[in-house]
């Protein structure tokens, strides 16, 4: 099944063409075909649920101290060899067999310790993101579903799925096999990573070639890569942009800081446009105002049936 999607054009400086892709500055997002996100659509708030700036990793608080300790452990332990072992283990998809919505409900047991912006159960974050996108993009149902499922891989923290430590499941992702870019959050802790001094890995390209494509790059292991693996290997009919969002939505050094773009190919560049659209909703829709799960469930179940088999291997 092939799904054609319109490519978004963002009102910001293109990192890849060296020019502004928007003819004039507006507060609207324009998609091919003339579709506009209304000016009174989703507004990005300035503070998170704790009264602080979003993704502020420097502010002093008890939660921030925990977040920094999380990144210290992640940066030390996420090595190229570790990721290869994790991929080999989890590509077996032999942990469980269940449907997408059943997995959504499992997320009630998960709180993301790396997230400085919210401490609610993860199913609420999924629905908050999906509902915000649904309001502004009513015709892009694949994007609604992508938002709903993008964090399902966080079940890796649960005993049935390996009970992995949070540093091996959540947090910002980054490439292994090349130098750690300084745009990575709490970069200083990479100095204790065994890969940091490996000659094969500590140059800009490392083991890769320019323009090789992100599909050929080994990313730090976590819920992003795992959910991408589950969706792809179970035959989802989501478009490539949806799979790209699932796999790289935590790759903030790329889509927020513009790092590692030398590894991208043309398909990555096109899909990144949709990831940038998605990220606004992923980051800024986090709220203490909860979504009525039972009210919206029928709509999302219909999308699951459209794009996924009834049961998936996990």
Residue 114 marked ligand-binding: yes
By the 8 A CB rule, do 207 and 81 touch? no
Nearest residue to 275 via CA among 300, 235, 247, 311: 247
Q: Is 171 annotated as a binding residue?
A: yes
Percent of the chain that is helix, strand, coil (3-state, to 5): 45, 5, 50
- On whether 113 is known to bind a ligand per the annotation, the reply is yes
Among residues 178, 241, 236, the alpha carbon closest in space to that of 7 is found at 241
Neighbouring residues of 92: CB distance < 8 A, sequence distance ≥ 6? none
- Could you tell me how many residues make up the chain? 314
Distance, in Å, from the CA atom of 234 to the CA atom of 82, rounded to the nearest integer, reads 24
Instruction: Determine phi and psi for 141, rounding to 5 degrees.
Output: -65, -30
Give how far the C-alpha of residue 171 lies from the chain's centroid of Cα atoms, to the nearest Å: 9
75 known member of a binding site: no
* Dihedral angle, C-alpha 256, 262, 265, 269, nearest 10 °: 30
Of 146, 113, 108, 112, which Cα lies nearest the Cα of 129?
146
CA distance 85 to 223: 15
Q: Is 58 annotated as a binding residue?
A: no
Q: Which residues contact 108 (CB under 8 A, 6 or more apart)?
A: 121, 122, 123
129 labelled ligand-binding: no
Q: Please tell me whether 267 is known to bind a ligand.
A: no
153 is in an annotated binding site: no
Q: Is 56 annotated as a binding residue?
A: no
Give buried/exposed letters for 123-134 (b at 16+ CB in 10 A, else e). bbbbbbbbbbbb
262 marked as binding residue: no
187 among annotated binding-site residues? no
The reply, when asked if residue 210 is annotated as ligand binding, is no
Is 144 annotated in a binding site? The answer is no
186 is in an annotated binding site: no
* Binding site as annotated, residues: 55, 112-114, 125, 150-151, 154, 171-172, 223, 249-250, 282
* Binding site as annotated, residues for substrate: 55, 112-114, 154, 171-172, 249-250
* Binding site as annotated, residues for Fe cation: 125, 150-151, 223, 249, 282
């Amino acid at each position: 099944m092939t799904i054609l999607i319109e490519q978004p054009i963002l009102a910001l400086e293109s990192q890849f063409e060296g020019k502004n892709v928007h003819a004039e500055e507006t507060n609207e997002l324009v998609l091919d075909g003339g579709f506009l996100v209304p000016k009174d659509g989703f507004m990005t708030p300035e503070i998170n649920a704790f009264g602080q700036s979003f993704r502020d990793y420097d502010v002093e608080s008890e939660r921030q101290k925990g977040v920094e300790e999380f990144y210290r452990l992640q940066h030390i332990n996420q090595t190229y060899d570790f990721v290869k072992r994790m991929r080999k283990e989890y590509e077996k998809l032999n942990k469980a067999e269940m449907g997408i919505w059943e997995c959504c409900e499992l997320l009630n047991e998960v709180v993301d310790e790396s997230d400085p912006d919210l401490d609610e159960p993860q199913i609420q974050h999924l629905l908050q993101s999906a509902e915000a996108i649904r309001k502004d993009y009513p015709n892009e149902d694949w994007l609604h579903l992508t938002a709903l499922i993008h964090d399902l891989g966080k079940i890796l923290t649960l005993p049935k799925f390996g009970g992995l430590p949070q540093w091996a499941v959540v947090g910002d992702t980054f490439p292994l096999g090349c130098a750690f870019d300084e745009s990575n959050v709490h970069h200083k802790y990479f100095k204790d990573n065994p890969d940091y001094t490996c000659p094969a890995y500590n140059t800009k390209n490392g083991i890769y070639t320019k323009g090789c494509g992100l599909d050929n790059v080994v990313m730090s292991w976590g819920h992003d890569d795992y959910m991408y693996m589950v969706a792809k290997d179970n035959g989802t009919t989501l478009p490539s942009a949806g799979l790209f969002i699932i796999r790289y939505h935590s790759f903030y050094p790329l889509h927020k800081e513009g790092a590692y773009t030398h590894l991208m190919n043309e398909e990555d560049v096109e899909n990144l446009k949709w990831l940038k659209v998605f990220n606004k909703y992923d980051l800024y829709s986090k709220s203490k105002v909860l979504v009525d799960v039972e009210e919206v469930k029928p709509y999302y179940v219909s999308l699951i049936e459209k794009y996924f088999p009834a049961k998936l291997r996990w």
